[in-house]
Structure 1
Amino acid sequence: MTTYLKMLAFLIFTVIVGSEVALAQGSQRIIVKGKIIDSKDKQPIIGVSVVELDKDKRTVRGVMTDIDGNYALPVSDPKNSIQISYIGYKSVVQQLNDRTVINVSLVSTSNELTAIVITGQRSVNNGSGLNIDARNSTTATTTINAKDLEELSAQSIDQALQGRMPGVDFGASSGDPGAGMSIRIRGTSSINGSAEPLIVLDGMPYETQIPSDFNFGTADEQGYAQLLNIAPSDIKDITVLKDAASTAVWGARAANGVLVINTKRGVLGKPSFTYNLRATVQKQPEAIPLLTGDQYSNMIPEAWNNRGTPLNIAFNQEFLYDPQTLQTFYNYSGNNNWIDAITQLGHTQDHNVSMQGGGEKARYYASVGYLNSQGTTIGTDLNRVTTKVNLDYNVSNRIRFRSDFMYTHVNNTLNYTNSLRGIAYTKMPNMSILEFDEFGNQTPNYHSPLSNIQGSYIEKDSRFTYNPLAMANEGSSRLYGERITPKFQLQYDVLPNNVFLTTFDLQFDINNTKAKSFLPQVATGRPVTETNVNRASDNDGDSFSVNTKLNFIYQPLLSEKHKLQSLLSFQTEDNQGIGQNILTANTASSLLQDPSNPGRTQNGDLKLEASGGQQRTLGIVTTHQYSLLDRYIINAGVRLDGNSRFGKGNRYGLFPSFSGRWRISGEPFMKNAKFVDDLSLRISYGQSGKQPSKNYTFYNTYKPSVSYLGVSGIIPDAIGLDNLKWETNTGRNIGLTAWLWKSKVKMDLDFYSNKITDLLFEGLQVPNYTGYSAIAVNVGTMTNKGFEVLLNTIPYRSRKLLVTFDFNIAQNINVINSVSEYYPRTDGKAIGNGVYRAYLQEGNPFGSFYGFKFNGVYTNKDATIARDKSGNQIVGPNGQIVYMKYNYPANQYTFQAGDAMYEDVNKDGNINEDDIVYLGNGNPLFTGGFGPSVTINGNLKLQSFFSFKMGHDLINRTLMSTTNMYGYGNQSTIVLSRWRNPGDITDVPRALYGDGYNWLGSDRYVSDASFIRLKSVTARYNLSKALSTKLHVKNTSVFVTAENLVTWTKYKGVDPDVSARGANTPFSFIVDDALTPPSRNILLGLSVGF
């Protein structure tokens, strides 16, 4: 620690000495200040070149505009002129004539609407405070303007970014309203805890810090992502920081990458108002086709017969079909599709009103938004209210003040259980939705029998059943969120002309999340005296965080050949969270839905818990960027991270970074290549650390949630770990940037390699006699390697027509390189029907799954004869024929004709663990998107976009549950081609109730999930200025968008875009569990400016 302090003292001394020199130089010059804005949208332009020209038009010196479009240029002669220039705008030359303030509005070189530009053209804003022009960026970043996404129906901005940013994989966790997205930047970087990137909002971290034991009900922390709290209409642009050199400024929290979001701010001019409306209609894609009531009623007796025991109709009246018993006959003679029963047409309305304006002293932006969305699954909806106020105030020429205030209220209703659609798929179709009485008359009551052949409802047991429509309408799980985020920034120019300035940011984040659920008796059909009914829970999580950031920025005025920017930043975070959970059961009435009401409880049906925690972080970072001749640019930095989750031995970590850029196009040998605007080679190297996901890892902790002989007690929970180390991500990147033919072609090409060492795993099992169940350890290494290509083109451009085409693709290859010898390589699950194995296997990707190879169906008895590696029959000790067995001798099952056939890898006649092989993984090998855009006369814009993912597999549990023919569940129409008689040739085994191994975890249920999707098609029309004037408005646009129209895929499920939910665990993999799929949408939009 002493070494670190010495280094920081030296850096501070260097800054102070340099400041004095610059002050001495700056006192001899005249400072010309001003602001550069776009003439059309009045937005400030960042990175504009402002240079002093002498009487011979030679450049004397120059500066760039900052993030607010401001510049301050020291000039040597008040009779000289200044030239303002920027790519895509007409250059302007202004005579000084002794003026010291010159504001300029730049005019675009074309009259067309701006095309989608994903690579940052103006500046790269990593939130650090340094103003680095995009053409001088040395790191791997991608920026997209939120204006290019406003025609989409996204409830949160991440939903609109899918396929648009190379190297960033956005996956939907569900199609329900309010569902978050899984975001992976350059692959999965950790096997434990969250793999989501850090969100930086307007220069400060914006994280959802909720107590780790908070019960989200049927959602999860990812499903209630922080991006839901930010209205897309308030966002100006989004930048993703991908390599370690670009994320270094944010330290340990940025180990998974960073999304930097900048919101809209005030502009110079009179107050202007904008109203945006987006109205959307949503329809679910076609579900898996299911058996009718008659087909189902024929299959169940057949499954019993194949077992050797006929179905006893007398005791299973669901198949009796006796008109003499009218009530049973009508209640079980229907033909219902339960998926259709719980599906509805969804709709969304999204309103946003904003105001912005200001003068030289103060500028403001304010907005209010309201969103209401009804989901495509009955019982789901979302209501959100957002408020955003940004104020910028210039106290003096050297002091500036900025304040941001954001408030969000969210009310998200979900189904009581995540298994709703899975149960609907397998619910017996001959059962009626509403109950019939003994006279055969339909009643308004749900048909929720106490029990039937499919069992009865038992809380938290997905094997049991219920009436799906009753559960959808009556059971509920609600998430409420209240979040207030005030932020303040004070900026002071220690020296004029931004040579040496300091900024101080202070942010408070007050977040309350409440999850309430209630399960009334009518949803289950169970007796009112049981604790399975009228269950009420209330979970409340409160977090309060304080973030500070103190920056010292040094930008000495050297010369045109030499440019230097330096940053010294001190960052702190203090986060405190508390949680309370209460659960009760069997309240006196379904109207009493608060758990504080008295109930009848037993075992774990009554729960009253509280928890709390605190985390503190400290970051000290310094970074310096130096440019020579505008051709050779280097950036070097180091960050010291401190985190309270570590013990004293490893509480601090030091992480360096280095990057550089060689502008090849600036070399003399390139002067004849007139078609090259910019050709640059980039390299970067950096490290970042990651902390454990839990607080107090260095303490022995205890928990009181146990009892013995009716007496409450306290037992050990976790052992203190003083030597747990930082998980370290070391990244290397090499890239090429090319801008050609006056920016008609722009390309970024990057190759990267990230190595993660000291992987954190917090669940290593230890013997119970130690008093603990698991500990946290550092277990191994993992790598992510790949490439990214981003291409933006303008094939044709004229005064009346603009045609653009954008394309991006990225590859990521994840490999587990090593695992500690003390660490278990498998999840330890016993093999059996429906079970897949997970391993941490060197040489294979994280998230891989393992199982048996499905080789079809045994056509007859002879086909089940076991054979050795030479193809010869295996015979027993007495010469008897040996037939294929399953897991012998622990199991005595012998495969029969019509059973599933699995590959006997070692040819021993026994299907067991020795035959388990690698089947695949859910990590896409390629991701990306592409699409054209056509703008006619600057008024009509036609645009389409395609997204794709390639080279990954999914375990389709929905397919498994609807084709296993093992129980009383309904099945898909695939089983109509099942094996029935010896000699049948098919790949669908026989129906076999409660016996056999026809649905072992195998590649039969593993599907290639590659897809190309027509993500959106948009037509937008901007009313002419003359017509807008007649309507007494400033401008008006109307648009229509169709989303998710077509998906090309070989996937056998409803939708191939399935992603991970929640935090990573070492043995997790992606599974299709029949959650609500993304819907097809038709959106109508209106934007009016006043």
Structure 2
Amino acid sequence: MRKQITNILRNFTFALVLLMAMPALSQQSSTAMLVRGQVIDAGDNQTIPGATVVEQDAESRTVGGVVTDFDGNFAIRVKNPNNKLVVSTIGYKSKTVAINGKQSVKVFLVSTVESLKEIVVTSAKTSDNGLMRIADRDRTTSSVSINAADLENTQAASIDEALQGRLSGVDIVATSGDPGAGMQIRIRGTSSITGSSDPLIVVDGMPYETSVPEDFNFGSADEQGYAALINIAPSDIETITILKDAAATAIWGSRAASGVLLITTKRGSVGAPKITYTYRGTYSKLPPTIPMLSGDQYSQLIPEEFMNRNGVPLNTLNVKEFQYDPQDVYYFNNYSQNTNWIDAITQAGITGEHTLALSGGGQKARYYTSVGYYKSKGVTIGTGLERLNARLNLDYNVSDRIKFKTDLSYTNTDTQRNYVNGTSSGDRLRGVAYTKMPNMSIYEYDELGNLTPNYFSPAANVQGTYAGTYNPLAMAKLAINDQVENRIVPHFNLSVGIVPGVFMSTFDLQFDYKSTKTKSFLPQNATGRPFTETVVNRASDADADEASIITKTNFIYTPKIGEKQTFQALVSLQSNDYRYTSHQALTSNTASSLLTDPSNPSRTQNSELFLGTGNLQARNVGAVFTAQYGLLDRYLINVGLRADGNSKFTGKNRYGYFPSVSARWRISGEPFMKSFEKIDDLSMRLSYGHSGGAPRFDYRFFNVYNNYQTEYLGLNGVVPGNMELTNLKWETKIGKNLGFNLQMFNKRLSIDAEIYQTTSKDLLFRDLDVTSVSGYSTISDQNVGTMESSGWEIGLNATPFKSKKWKIDFNFNISNNQNMITEISEFVATESGNTDRNGQFKRFLQVDNPFGSFYGYRFKGVYTDLDATRARDANGNVIAGPNGEEVFMRFNYPNTDYVFQPGDAIYEDINKDGNIDSRDVVYLGNSNPKFAGGFGSNVSFNNQLRLMLFFTYRFDFDIVNGTDMSTTNMYGWSNQSTAVLSRWRNPGDVTNMPRAIYGAGYNWLGSDRYVEDASFVRLRSVTLSYNLGKNILKKLNLDEIRVYVTADNLYTFTKYRGQDPEVSMGSGAFGMSIDNAATPPTKRFSFGLTTRF
């Protein structure tokens, strides 16, 4: 396999080099000659800069070309002296000149108008839904677009990051600030419980595979592991269009049920070869971290915890970490420090990016090719991203009727992550750094008190053994978690005009191959544990190969039916065959930390050994019919039907049928609107459509058997892996959309508004609990209920000021989305979380409950003294017992029956019975934002100096500050934040910080004490750019030089007390947003340079 990959890369490199050499090779000919000339205005004899001069052969095929300089001069090496030159430019009639062996020519162009003060170029913008091109003004469905110019100054590593806040109805949240971390993308909110809510990504008309196979584990199969768009370089993007309503997405089938991202890459244009080089350099740093206790402050806290538990002081004879005896040199030096572990694992982030692109071509052939290199060092030690990407897009017109396109992209991505990279503060590196003992030394002191270069990683201490207690810096620097991905995607397109201008056919064939290798190694000196334990020298190698073959055949019919009517129809046949194989080897206890290969046979006794393979295949086919009819340029209607077949369903439910209908009324075209001269366009759109969702994983209708590793009589057995599902149905989404489009003042003001409602029926629910008498614990997938989702969106673009030199643009978008479960099966586990335990919240799946909601207690402060702990009724009167005895507030009586003490947390007694229990649990919040979007402004002077500002925002959503929960509970040996310095210590103290008590009490139950409104407005980017003037460019013989400086994430306006309010919502049926000390978005300061010649 590796040999095949090497051969592919070698051939790709040769093809790329050959392509970039084509302009030079084309000049080499025995009959080639150099022709010089000048292009002049026939009216005023002024020279014409920027005119295109191309050489055409006897068959009118373009074989070369150049562009005139600022004085109208050109020099072109022609291939044949008998060819001709075609000269053209905007505002002039093209002219053809026979060369006839002449080495010098003057070309006079005639203006298309007698007097031309200003050239205004207008065109009908067209875009497609991936299948059929339609003018933007004639779209009947809901979509929004962004072009390359809006993204060219972004410092994002991926397209999804660059799109944050820029498109209405598209909510994008970073899962982490580490390089290569994923982004959670939601178009119009969450639309499924455990099915996929991720949009389909389509690149140049073909689906882009982003699925995560079911057996993907690799030891780190978390959301960060798959940044779906990381392999598409932002510099290669021309436009991005988001399809949002069901009528637009239905034609793309089941994978598009949650929306579609249509990405169009750059292509070559007619003209001489153009070379563009771009450099970006970025410096990143973390925002201020949460202040933590010093070693001295921590050493005072821990004994207080023990004293508050039972009045017995901490026994330092047994707990040497707090003995501080100078006679015990080893413990005294290794546990008498003031270590800031967060600072220890933090570094300055550095990013460098280089992009080189070549484009050009003639009337027959055009090309665009690019090579990019991106390298980023994360702000957390041990994290980074390195990417090499290349793209080649070729267009060739065989004739007026036959056209051929070939696209080839290759990406190599190397992502370095921390070995411990989980989803909770207990196993995330930064979470451990926050709670690690600050009195512990980073480096080990020996028995003589000498500081050694070895990391201090004790086998055990009071914080435990390994998990959550390791030396964070040792883990960051010594452990390995490296993922290398190679992806190559060749795409071929053939277009045939069967009846020119009326009936045409296109055929697309795409191969998508991706190879992923994940290597991890956990050395003994990162854990400190004995060599006999499986967390020592633990090595894993995992390889995964994914391959898909995608075909698409379109038949497009566009008859001419008169000036007042338009019609376009399309039939599309599609198929996608996907295959996946994986291999994993895992061992532990190799004899040395230098032996990082799991295949190494040198292992100690009782070591772990695991060998695993995975193999799956999935296939789906689709047939689409869609047609659009227009009348009087005012009334448009579009109908569509998709039949989808998916191998994830059993035979009787394998095919789904999804109709759609949409219409547009151009009100501004009506006669009664003629008096409204300021209105350029006013339209109303209506759409209705169905789209379908399939299970995430395969083989659900098979009864799959797995190997059973435990031996019986020397033999391994097999066990059933899942229950056969013969009645599983499509998850169906029914969407309704009402939209308005308004353009005014010569298109200087544009407003788009949408109102929508989506009903998701037969919701897919994964891992449904069943009775054990069935022989299974869960059913893999089942249709269980209905969810309603509704909302609205508004997008605005305006040019409030424009003069000859100054121009000010403004953009704004806002969206609102709400969801509600309206039906749920009685067999679904409708709740999660235990409110009887510290640190947990209750979550429900129930009718009339929004998805993403969570419940808990209401925190009311701290009991100041004994009198405050007395139970009181609704009138505030003290409650007395049956015999008149005093009654004090209790927790979870009679199951736990803990009596609250002075200094304990107060929770609201909702029913005033003197007992805090499940009947006092109330709704606390929801992780879905009520409003989200972005706004910005561009100010330009003389089209050279430009200032760009862009803000993103999310309003009215709640997150659980899990970091605060773990750094203020004062419940164990973990370090705490400086907020605990205001804790309750003596009767009468008035504070909102409970007392410290080791391993007892209920001071950190899931309550609104840890729930915060995370609303924020972030200054996402500030860019100042400058384009060098024409005079300077002329002297340098360049077409463009642009320099710019950018600051990203410069400031965040928020009341959230944590490090950053941007937290993704967890996956699964009970997902919620919890801040668990992931790396926050970093402040980035960048310098960029673009030159074109």
Shorter-normalised TM range: 0.7 to 0.9
* Paired letter, 1:1067: F
* Paired letter, 1:248: A
Which one of the candidate residues 176, 201, 204 is aligned to 2:206?
Answer: 204
Which one of the candidate residues 144, 157, 160 is aligned to 1:158?
Answer: 160
What's the counterpart of residue 456 of structure 1? 465
**Tell me, what secondary structure is at the counterpart of 2:304?**
helix
What's the counterpart of residue 353 of structure 2? 350
Which one of the candidate residues 472, 481, 493 is aligned to 2:485?
Answer: 481
What's the counterpart of residue 146 of structure 1? 148
What's the counterpart of residue 408 of structure 1? 411
2:991, 2:112 → 1: CA distance? Answer: 73
Q: Does 1:399 align with 2:398?
A: no
For structure 1, which runs of at least 5 residues remain unmatched after alignment? Answer: 1-38, 43-88, 97-101, 459-463
Q: Does 1:471 align with 2:475?
A: yes
1:127, 1:325 → 2: CA distance? Answer: 73
* Paired letter, 1:361: K
Residue 999 of structure 1, CA deviation: 0.7
* Paired letter, 1:454: Q
Deviates more, 1:259-268 or 1:875-884: 875-884
Would the alpha carbon gap of residues 689 and 222 (structure 1) be closer, same or farther in structure 2, given more than 3 Å must change? farther
What's the counterpart of residue 14 of structure 1? none
Q: Does 1:587 align with 2:590?
A: yes
Which one of the candidate residues 386, 392, 395 is aligned to 1:383?
Answer: 386
1:112/1:801 contact within 8 Å kept: no
Number of residue pairs aligned between Structure 1 and Structure 2: 986
Would the alpha carbon gap of residues 981 and 779 (structure 1) be closer, same or farther in structure 2, given more than 3 Å must change? same
Residue 739 of structure 1, CA deviation: 0.5
What's the counterpart of residue 632 of structure 2? 629
1:210/1:577 contact within 8 Å kept: no
What's the counterpart of residue 1088 of structure 1? 1091
CA offsets per residue over residues 815-836 of structure 1, 9 Å max, x none?
1112112322112646301111
2:294, 2:118 → 1: CA distance? Answer: 60
Residue 313 of structure 1, CA deviation: 1.1
Q: How does 1:220-369 map to 2 (within 5 A)?
A: 220=222, 223-308=225-310, 309-369=312-372
**Tell me, what secondary structure is at the counterpart of 1:1003?**
coil
Residue 844 of structure 1, CA deviation: 2.2
**What is the RMSD computed on CA atoms of the aligned residues?**
2.4
Residue 974 of structure 1, CA deviation: 0.6
Would the alpha carbon gap of residues 995 and 297 (structure 1) be closer, same or farther in structure 2, given more than 3 Å must change? same
Q: Does 1:948 align with 2:953?
A: yes
Would the alpha carbon gap of residues 734 and 103 (structure 1) be closer, same or farther in structure 2, given more than 3 Å must change? farther
What's the counterpart of residue 715 of structure 1? 719
Residue 907 of structure 1, CA deviation: 2.2
Q: Does 1:122 align with 2:122?
A: no
What's the counterpart of residue 690 of structure 2? 687
2:668, 2:51 → 1: CA distance? Answer: 32
2:342, 2:112 → 1: CA distance? Answer: 58
Q: How does 1:306-705 map to 2 (within 5 A)?
A: 306-308=308-310, 309-418=312-421, 419-458=428-467, 464-497=468-501, 499-598=502-601, 600=603, 605-705=608-708
What's the counterpart of residue 844 of structure 1? 849
**Tell me, what secondary structure is at the counterpart of 2:1009?**
helix
Would the alpha carbon gap of residues 144 and 1079 (structure 1) be closer, same or farther in structure 2, given more than 3 Å must change? same
Residue 449 of structure 1, CA deviation: 1.2
1:210/1:543 contact within 8 Å kept: no
CA offsets per residue over residues 913-955 of structure 1, 9 Å max, x none?
2222211111111001111111101111111011100010101
Residue 92 of structure 1, CA deviation: 9.3
**Tell me, what secondary structure is at the counterpart of 2:291?**
coil
CA offsets per residue over residues 113-161 of structure 1, 9 Å max, x none?
99xx9xx971232111x12111111111110012221111110011111
1:214, 1:1067 → 2: CA distance? Answer: 22
Deviates more, 1:528-537 or 1:632-641: 528-537
Residue 711 of structure 1, CA deviation: 5.0
**Tell me, what secondary structure is at the counterpart of 1:1028?**
helix
1:405/1:485 contact within 8 Å kept: yes
CA offsets per residue over residues 584-643 of structure 1, 9 Å max, x none?
101111111111112547889321111111111011110111110000011111111110
CA offsets per residue over residues 1012-1035 of structure 1, 9 Å max, x none?
011111001011122123223221
Residue 221 of structure 1, CA deviation: 5.3
For structure 2, which runs of at least 5 residues remain unmatched after alignment? Answer: 1-48, 53-88, 97-108, 422-427
Residue 219 of structure 1, CA deviation: 5.4
Residue 191 of structure 1, CA deviation: 0.8
Residue 1081 of structure 1, CA deviation: 0.3
2:853/2:927 contact within 8 Å kept: yes
2:785, 2:893 → 1: CA distance? Answer: 35
CA offsets per residue over residues 35-65 of structure 1, 9 Å max, x none?
xxxx9899xxxxxxxxxxxxxxxxxxxxxxx
Would the alpha carbon gap of residues 40 and 833 (structure 1) be closer, same or farther in structure 2, given more than 3 Å must change? farther
1:251/1:639 contact within 8 Å kept: yes
Residue 325 of structure 1, CA deviation: 2.4
2:338, 2:750 → 1: CA distance? Answer: 58
Q: Percent identity?
A: 55
2:142/2:248 contact within 8 Å kept: yes
Would the alpha carbon gap of residues 146 and 534 (structure 1) be closer, same or farther in structure 2, given more than 3 Å must change? same
1:550, 1:407 → 2: CA distance? Answer: 25
2:871, 2:708 → 1: CA distance? Answer: 53
* Paired letter, 2:797: N
2:769/2:827 contact within 8 Å kept: no
Would the alpha carbon gap of residues 917 and 241 (structure 1) be closer, same or farther in structure 2, given more than 3 Å must change? same
2:921, 2:476 → 1: CA distance? Answer: 39
What's the counterpart of residue 943 of structure 2? 938
CA offsets per residue over residues 754-811 of structure 1, 9 Å max, x none?
1111110021111222111111211111111111111100011112111111111111
What's the counterpart of residue 27 of structure 1? none
Residue 875 of structure 1, CA deviation: 2.8
* Paired letter, 2:970: M
1:280/1:347 contact within 8 Å kept: yes
Would the alpha carbon gap of residues 763 and 519 (structure 1) be closer, same or farther in structure 2, given more than 3 Å must change? same
1:830, 1:160 → 2: CA distance? Answer: 40
1:753, 1:347 → 2: CA distance? Answer: 45
Residue 571 of structure 1, CA deviation: 0.7
* Paired letter, 1:720: E
Residue 224 of structure 1, CA deviation: 2.0
Deviates more, 1:686-695 or 1:866-875: 866-875
1:361, 1:855 → 2: CA distance? Answer: 76
Would the alpha carbon gap of residues 586 and 520 (structure 1) be closer, same or farther in structure 2, given more than 3 Å must change? same
1:112/1:800 contact within 8 Å kept: no
Q: Does 1:975 align with 2:984?
A: no
Q: How does 1:717-866 map to 2 (within 5 A)?
A: 717-775=721-779, 776-827=781-832, 829=834, 831-866=836-871
CA offsets per residue over residues 1019-1077 of structure 1, 9 Å max, x none?
0101112212322322110000001111010111100011135xx31122221110111
* Paired letter, 1:713: G
* Paired letter, 1:208: T
2:91/2:112 contact within 8 Å kept: no
Deviates more, 1:161-170 or 1:214-223: 214-223
1:110/1:799 contact within 8 Å kept: no
* Paired letter, 2:183: M
1:729, 1:766 → 2: CA distance? Answer: 27
TM-score, normalized by length of structure 1? 0.88
What's the counterpart of residue 886 of structure 2? 881
1:706/1:715 contact within 8 Å kept: no
1:147, 1:599 → 2: CA distance? Answer: 57
Would the alpha carbon gap of residues 372 and 95 (structure 1) be closer, same or farther in structure 2, given more than 3 Å must change? closer
1:214/1:540 contact within 8 Å kept: no
1:424, 1:582 → 2: CA distance? Answer: 30
**Tell me, what secondary structure is at the counterpart of 2:652?**
helix
What's the counterpart of residue 57 of structure 1? none
1:907, 1:1086 → 2: CA distance? Answer: 67
